[in-house]
Structures are given as C-alpha cells and as structure tokens.
Amino acid sequence: MNLLNSINDFNEAKSVIPGGVNSPVRAFQSVGGYPRMIKNAYECYLIDEDNNKYIDFIQSWGPLILGHKDFDVINAIKSALERGVGYGAPTVGETKLAKEIISIYDGIDKIRLVSSGTEATMSALRLARAFSGKNDIIKFEGCYHGHSDSLLVSAGSGCATFGSPSSPGVINDFSKHTLVARYNDLDSVESCFKASGDVACVIIEPIAGNMGLVPGEKEFIEGLKKICEKYNALLIFDEVMSGFRASFRGSLEFYNVIPDLVTFGKVIGGGLPLAAFGGRSDIMDLLSPVGNVYQAGTLSGNPIAVAAGYATLIKIKQNKNLYANLEELAILLTEGMKQKAKDYGFSLKTCVRGSMFGFFFNDKEVRNFDDAKLSNTKIFASFHQKMLERGVYFAPSAFESGFICAAMNKEIINKVIEDCEVVFSEMKGQ
C-alpha cells in the first residue's frame, strides 16, 4: 500500500500541530504505523491522500450512523448554509431539535444544546452540584466523559477511592471531589457513597463504549438508580456515544431506568459539532437565564449543526428497520471475526449493542476496565495494522468501540470477515 503522501503530510502536520493531530487517538500511538491523512469520504468509505480506500468502522467516532455524505443530511446542511452560518440568536431549528429529542428520550422536559460532549458532561455536573448542594461526584474506571478537569480522574490505589488526576494539569483540588468506582460493581459504588457522604451525582456511560464496548448489566444499572435514590444523589447517563446509536432510545431500550440528567452528542449533530444535556424541568430551570447556574456558548445551537442533527434524527426515525438491520450486520461481523480468530488459535471476545460493536483479544469476558486491561494489545496492534493494509479501518486502539453505518451491507461485512481470515493466518505464521 502506497502511503507516501500520508507520511509526508503527517510529518508536516507534526511541525505545527502537537503530535500532528487535534485529538490524540488519531495519532495511532497505541497501534503503531502511520495515521492515514484522509481527504475524502463517501458512504462507508474513507479515501486517503494516496487514494487508498478503506471500509470505515469509526464513522467519525460514532456520529455518522447514516454513513459519510448522506444525501439528506448534506442537503439539509446546504440549505441551512444558504441562510447564513450562524446568528448568535435563537432559531426555530433549535426548538425543533430539542422537541424531537424530548419526544424520543423519556424523562427529559428541557434540553440545552452545546457544541461538544465535553461541554455537555461538564455542564451536567455543575447543574447536579447546584441542584443537590453537594460537592462530590462518582464516575467509573474506564468510562470517558470528555476532558473537563473533574472527569480526567482515575482510581487512586484500589477502587472505590477518591481519584487522582489522570493528566498533568488537573489539580488535586479538583480530583479529590471525584470518586472512582468499578463498572458493573454495585458494592464499589456503595463504598464510594460511604467514603464521601457528600455525593451530588453519579455519572456513567450506561453502555460503556470507551473501554471497548462493555454494556452495563441490567441489575447493575437498575441497582445504581436505587443507590442514587437512597443517598439523594442525581443519576447522570452519559449517552454521548450510545444515544441514538445503541438503539433509537439509547440505553432506555435496555434498562428500565430513567436518569435525572442525560447527555448526548455525536449522532444528534449528524457529524457536526453539537451536543446536549437535558433532564427534568426542576433541575434544568436552574440554568441561567432562568436560574443562576451559569452555562453559555458562542456557537451553541449553531444552525448548520442543528440542521444536520435534525435531518439525521428525522431520517433514523423514519427507517423503522434501521437498528435491527445495523445490529444484524454487527452480529454478522463479530461472529465471523470470532470464528476466524478461533480457527487460527486466537481468543476473541465480542459484544454488540445495536450499531455499536466491540472486540477484545482476551480469554475472559470483559465486565469492567480491569478485565479490559487484560486484553492482548500487541495482538490487537498487529491485527489493526494488517487489516488497515487490506483496506479495513478499525479504531486505532484496543479500547474503543466500532460502528456500523447504514451504508454497509452483508457483502461488505463478508469481505471484511474474509480479510480477517487472511490476517489471522498471517499472524499465526509469525
């Protein structure tokens, strides 16, 4: 595969952009090899600067459930563009999008639009603290909620402890208010509540997609709601990734739990920068200008992003078989990969939730981040590189989810499974 342009362009990018990328995982550091510089995309394909073509299982890290350059989404963007790129004033489109989300996801009276998932979770935490009058938050090891200071925190020594900063620059004064529990482990949550005595909220990806794909178990998610009620803390579902992805109603399809606050992103922006947080009126009305909890954004509710998100939601709502079809493809893919891995002596654990899928080179089922970390990242890196050389673009990290889009079909998935067979046979021979 000729990568000359990608290599040259990436080296040039590194001279002016830290690591050559504007979001670290794009740099391929955990899998090695050169990141491809992408110049174009259509349907489920990416085209790099050397004109190599890839089947894209990242789909812009989730948003593009309809695939690249979906006709209706692009048309909605073009038509919005003709009316100007932004006004810094309220628009009817924002109300329509808010109403649409509220009509789909139970338990939301009001919603505020922001520009990134990071902003959505950061703002939801502030609101939860203001509402409850308490200071601490509980998050889970292996869940990612964006890069605000309170959330860049990992477990201290042992689980169920006050966390420590997971990045230099996050000060202990922030991280000491974040407790980190073990995913799918109610005892560890209870321990955090007892250790703190001052918990404002629990934030969780009910379907975790940032340690690979690890869904919350039903009893765990339902138990979490009960613990939050017992300690009078708010439950925040971070559905930035799983919302409108794992199912039309995100996690609500899988659990009988309605959170107090929920965050969305990715799909609701149709590929443009848009995210949101919402919940009951009594909580949301604390936000400025109704209440005095401050939150704002120059580009919040940008009309182009709103048009793309609204067109996406309407289209996925109209296609009644969409999620069943995407899930069928995800199962076809992961079962095929698992069989081929087994044929060549590799132990692969797989998981599917609607259009999201994950796989671990692991002997054990993965229920939490400790399990995920036991996965063989060297085998993953080799698999990733070889698949890429065959034109199959999986996320460049062993701890990310994959995404099926509406532009994929069985023929494409079967081709990927054949590629897996070739790659596993090569890896076995090494």
Ligand X SMILES: Cc1ncc(COP(=O)(O)O)c(C=O)c1O
Q: Which residues bind ligand X (CB under 6 A)?
A: 61, 116-118, 121, 144-146, 205, 209-210, 238, 240-241, 265, 275
Q: Which of 228, 305 has the CB closer to ligand X?
A: 305
CB of 303 to ligand X, least distance (A): 19
CB of 103 to ligand X, least distance (A): 23
Alpha carbon distance 228, 135 (integer Å): 15
Candidates 144, 231, 310, 393; catalytic one = 144
Q: Which of 57, 231 has the CB closer to ligand X?
A: 57
Q: Which of 240, 392 has the CB closer to ligand X?
A: 240
Candidates 48, 185, 260, 266; catalytic one = 266
Candidates 9, 48, 56, 238; catalytic one = 238
CB of 288 to ligand X, least distance (A): 21
Residue 144 annotated as catalytic: yes
CB of 144 to ligand X, least distance (A): 5
Alpha carbon distance 125, 111 (integer Å): 15
Q: Which of 124, 413 has the CB closer to ligand X?
A: 124
Residue closest to ligand X, measured at CB: 117
CA dist 368 to 184, 248, 402, Å? Answer: 7, 25, 18
Residue 266 annotated as catalytic: yes
CB of 259 to ligand X, least distance (A): 13
Q: Which residues are catalytic?
A: 144, 238, 266
